[in-house]
Amino acid sequence: MKFSLVASVVTAFSAGANAYAISAEDAYLEGLTALGHLRRALPNSPNGYTPTSRDCPSNAPSVRAAAELSSQETAWLERRRNNTVEPMRDLLTRLNITGFDAGSYIDRVSNNASELPNIGIAVSGGGWRALMNGAGAIKAFDSRTDNNTGRGQLGGLLQSATYLAGLSGGGWLVGSIFINNYTTVGALQSHDAGSTWQFENSVLEGPDKGGLQILDTAQYYGSLSDAVTGKRDAGFDVSLTDVWGRALSFQLINATDGGPAYTWSSISLAQDFQDANTPFPILVADARAPGETLIPGNTTVYEFNAFEMGTWDPTAYGFIPMQYLGTNFTAGSVPNNDQCVVGFDNAGFIMGTSSSLFNQFLLNLNGTDIPQSLRDIVSSILNTLSSDNNDIADYTPNPFFHYNPQSNPSANSSRLTLVDGGEDLQNIPLHPLIQPNRHVDVIFAVDSSADTEYIWPNATALVATYQRSLADVANGTTFPSIPDQNTIVNLGLNTHPTFFGCDTSNMTDGINVPLVVYIPNSPYVTYSNFSTFQLSTNNSYRDAVILNGQNVVTMGNGTVDETWPACAGCAILSRSLERTRTDIPEVCNQCFERFCWNGTVDSRDPPRYEPTVLLGEINIANSAATRSINWLAAGVAAAGFVITTI
């Protein structure tokens, strides 16, 4: 679930974060010097947070139809697919698929990208819970993590992946890694002074002084206000997402004042990205059509990648260069004598767009200690918006104005309004990874959603994506069959990794349906099910949740199920083996028997889902998560939430 707020909520969760303290048992914590690992992307906005107009290049930007990949992505993929060969060979060899020479197989297919496994990773939304659980997954997948390429470990999967998509809290994770120059999770969570992920203070309080942050609380609010006011004074519409995105930047970007000049498009200028040493990063947001208040399942899904912003859906069905977001495109072109805009694609604004649900906090500042300066800027924004539009991100001018008017519901509006990418229930960003043009074979889908009473996932996001794939808006995308949520819980498919799409015998030849490796948040060494709207967390609990996430995706480095590492390798290879008509190793057949959903359906109402810790629980001082969750539930009720499943 996500929560729609109808009363003051800020104070309800401000007190609980410091209740956690763990012992020094985090064996995974790396002794990294954070600042040495945190070279950033480029602060290439000419005027900080304020977008700037300048003459367009001679080859003026335009909207391109979404019939194929961009030329930039196509060229980049040639380098990236080559760069995945060595780490994939190393990973699959180390996973020790009995009776199968994985190294020789990868050597055989390495010169043909259509035969080489094509891996995507998707990290769900769910606030800071999703960021931390997802961070554990990425840390486990990253060969740069210390001691991460031994028996039972999945280090190297990140280096083998082509795509990495994030949404809401998962988008914060992806953005924080890439804007900080594709750094490691270990560096971001370092305990060194001035490191990036310091979540003890909420975004409503601002960061402590230290490292690159030189502002006190009053200056912090002044900085937020000045940035948003500067954008508005330059003639651009602003929304609460501008405030939210700037606040997020102080927690996610290791730069002075939260890096107001860092843009999303600057990722494409970073050397590691240009050399294709990283996966391709994508964030997701939903469109809110004019007059809509609820987000339907067939809403237009927009993506923000390193090169472009746009949609594959048969509505707008187009992309623009990310660098020129904010430019006045009309019917697909920049009008004669108009200038181009740069700097609109602020990295924090993009990350905030994918998580605009959190604008609700900014709607409830009365009765808090927030200074009048920030209240004034929020009030001035709200005065220009209807009550139905205060949770949107405002992309005016609409880059798809008068573009595809026959099918585009926003074509006649000068505004494009976007909202949190999970508001259509697709809380895992699978949409970019199931596009036929990208030919993704296997998606590792890390789910930190709060679907159940006690804030654990039940695959609602998978169900939503499957249902959407059956509708006209799917536009050629396909997705494996997913059972209902009751079946997921009754069969225990949300208690461990589960494969969907194993049986391809009834799938149409030539249609690419990815194998989905569903990895739900579960308690391995701590209860990682804290509220989506908990705004602060001390470093001890942060590290515990990240460590738990590492254990979730590795099944405790294979200690919970010793077959898991090899079975993860089989999932990676599955579609490639089919395309090359290579016999499936017997151990892989056994894996598919063990981890694939077998088609059984049990739609009875399930019992209450209350998982317990699978491995030795890290010592948490003030009574672990079950009581904490009860407290949070009480806070939800006291705050006056209306709870709806998302």
State pLDDT tens for residues 289-309. 766 777 888 999 999 999 999
Mean pLDDT, the chain, rounded, equals: 86
pLDDT digits (tens, 9 = 90+) for 53-83: 999 999 999 999 999 999 999 999 999 999 9
Give the Cβ contact number of residue 151 at 10 Å. Answer: 11
The Cα 548–Cα 137 span in angstroms is 9
pLDDT digits (tens, 9 = 90+) for 578-589: 999 999 999 999
Query: For residue 608, what pLDDT is reported?
Result: 95
Average pLDDT rounded to a whole number, residues 322-327: 98
Average pLDDT rounded to a whole number, residues 210-235: 80
Among residues 303, 304, 306, 252, the alpha carbon closest in space to that of 274 is found at 306
pLDDT digits (tens, 9 = 90+) for 336-355: 999 999 999 999 999 999 88
pLDDT level of residue 556 (50, 70, 90 thresholds): very high
pLDDT level of residue 624 (50, 70, 90 thresholds): very low
Percent of the chain at pLDDT above 70?
A: 82
Query: What tokens appear for 643 in the block?
Result: 């709870």
Q: For the domain 2-54+76-196+212-644, what is the CATH superfamily, name and number? A: Cytosolic phospholipase A2 catalytic domain (3.40.1090.10)
Query: For residue 356, what pLDDT is reported?
Result: 72
Write the secondary structure of 185-241 as one string of H (helix), E (strand) and C (coil): HHHHCCCCCCCCCCCCCCCCCCCCCECCECCCHHHHHHHHHHHHHHHHHCCCCCCHH
* Cα separations in angstroms, 37 against 195, 196, 260, 279, 518: 10, 11, 20, 18, 31
Query: For residue 512, what pLDDT is reported?
Result: 86
Query: For residue 643, what pLDDT is reported?
Result: 28
The Cα 9–Cα 393 span in angstroms is 21
pLDDT level of residue 219 (50, 70, 90 thresholds): confident
* Cα separations in angstroms, 506 against 468, 509, 593, 598, 642: 20, 9, 17, 14, 42
Phi and psi dihedrals of 80, rounded to 5?
-65, -45
* Residue 545 and residue 538 in contact, taking contact as beta carbons nearer than 8 Å: no
* Residue 224 and residue 230 in contact, taking contact as beta carbons nearer than 8 Å: no
Give the Cβ contact number of residue 262 at 10 Å. Answer: 26
Among residues 440, 134, 120, the alpha carbon closest in space to that of 280 is found at 120
pLDDT digits (tens, 9 = 90+) for 270-295: 999 999 999 999 999 999 876 677 78
Helix 127-141 / helix 539-554 crossing angle, nearest 10 deg: 50
Helix 372-382 / helix 217-233 crossing angle, nearest 10 deg: 30
The Cα 103–Cα 119 span in angstroms is 17
The whole-model pTM stands at 0.89
Query: For residue 363, what pLDDT is reported?
Result: 57
Q: Which range, of 22-26, 118-122, 265-269, 415-419, averages the lowest pLDDT?
A: 22-26
More confident residue, 317 or 365: 317
| 397 upstream amide cis, omega within 30 of 0 | yes
Q: Kindly give, in sequence order, each residue whose CB lies less than 8 Å from that of residue 532, ignoring residues fewer than 6 positions away.
A: 1, 2, 3, 126, 127, 129, 130, 169, 450, 455
Average pLDDT rounded to a whole number, residues 196-204: 88
The Cα 252–Cα 537 span in angstroms is 14
pLDDT digits (tens, 9 = 90+) for 1-45: 333 322 222 332 233 333 222 222 333 233 333 333 444 567 889
Residue 449 has pLDDT above 60, yes or no: yes
Query: For residue 111, what pLDDT is reported?
Result: 92
Q: Which range, of 10-19, 42-51, 255-264, 593-602, averages the lowest pLDDT?
A: 10-19
Residue ranges in 409-532 assigned as alpha helix (H): 460-469, 485-490
The Cα 520–Cα 498 span in angstroms is 9
Query: For residue 634, what pLDDT is reported?
Result: 29
Percent of the chain at pLDDT above 90?
A: 72
- Report the chain's C-alpha Rg in angstroms: 23
pLDDT level of residue 109 (50, 70, 90 thresholds): very high
Give the Cβ contact number of residue 75 at 10 Å. Answer: 12
The Cα 373–Cα 221 span in angstroms is 7
pLDDT level of residue 385 (50, 70, 90 thresholds): low
The Cα 159–Cα 49 span in angstroms is 32
Query: For residue 301, what pLDDT is reported?
Result: 98
The Cα 332–Cα 309 span in angstroms is 13
* Residue 55 and residue 340 in contact, taking contact as beta carbons nearer than 8 Å: yes
Among residues 564, 439, 422, the alpha carbon closest in space to that of 513 is found at 439
Average pLDDT rounded to a whole number, residues 473-502: 97
Query: For residue 519, what pLDDT is reported?
Result: 99
- The DSSP code for 263 is B
Query: For residue 81, what pLDDT is reported?
Result: 98
Average pLDDT rounded to a whole number, residues 224-240: 92
* Residue 625 and residue 533 in contact, taking contact as beta carbons nearer than 8 Å: no
Q: Kindly give, in sequence order, each residue whose CB lies less than 8 Å from that of residue 492, ignoring residues fewer than 6 positions away.
A: none
Residue ranges in 356-405 assigned as alpha helix (H): 359-362, 372-382
Intra-chain end-to-end CA distance of the chain, in Å: 5
Where in 344-495 does DSSP place strands (E)?
393-395, 416-420, 442-447
* Cα separations in angstroms, 474 against 54, 179, 417, 434, 479: 38, 31, 21, 10, 10
SS3 (DSSP) at 520: strand
pLDDT level of residue 403 (50, 70, 90 thresholds): very high
* Residue 521 and residue 460 in contact, taking contact as beta carbons nearer than 8 Å: no
Query: For residue 362, what pLDDT is reported?
Result: 59
Pairing state between β 280-287 and 416-420: antiparallel
Phi and psi dihedrals of 26, rounded to 5?
-75, 90
Query: For residue 21, what pLDDT is reported?
Result: 25
